[in-house]
Copies of this chain bind each other. A is one copy, B any other.
Amino acid sequence: MDLPEAKKKFIETWGKLGSEWGINRTMAQVHALLLITPDALTTEEIMETLSISRGNANMTLRDLIGWGLIEKQHKAGERKEYFYADKDTWNIARQVAKERRKRELDPVLKALDELSKVEGDANDPEFNTFNKSVTDINKLAKNVDRTLDTMLKAEESWFWGSLFKIFK
């Protein structure tokens, strides 16, 4: 496989993975493109490379900035905006974890806490089953939350090193 072919395949793979995990395919593809491109690109170049419209490119780029995955770059004497991606994989993973925690896990934890408080008759199987499931899921979600918290604060080598010490 040659480089241009490999680039295409990488963008395709990343896009597919994104869409399977609830991330817009185009967004994942733009991110992939910037990840494997040494220098910053203009909206025009991105539109061209991925065959997407100006509107789509603009929205996607703003979303990616919102996710903390790419940044704008201004070149001296140029009107155009350039975009480049943080290439540090650990940063990317942390950034995605951080955003999804904030957007999705936090609201679920809030709802589960509320649902855990619902009271009922301890002899009612309907209530008991509800209560046990909600409580158990709440515990699991809190464990995930704590682990993410550690991950967000950690250095990559420390994090994996610690995991491997246990999981050898």
> Which residues of A are interface residues toward B (Cβ below 8 A)?
1-3, 6-7, 9-10, 13, 17, 19-22, 35-39, 87, 89-90, 93, 103-104, 108, 111-112, 114-115, 117-118, 120, 125-130, 132-134, 136-137, 139-140, 143, 146-147, 150, 160, 162-167
Contacts and interface: CB of A to CB of B under 8 A. Distances in A.
A1 B136 CA distance: 19
B133 A35 contact: yes
A7 B128 CA distance: 12
A167 B146 contact: yes
18 contacts: A1-B114, A3-B127, A6-B130, A7-B130, A10-B133, A10-B134, A13-B112, A13-B115, A21-B21, A35-B133, A36-B130, A38-B129, A87-B132, A89-B133, A89-B136, A89-B139, A162-B166, A165-B166
Contact of A19 (B22, B93, B117, B137): B22
A133 B86 CA distance: 10
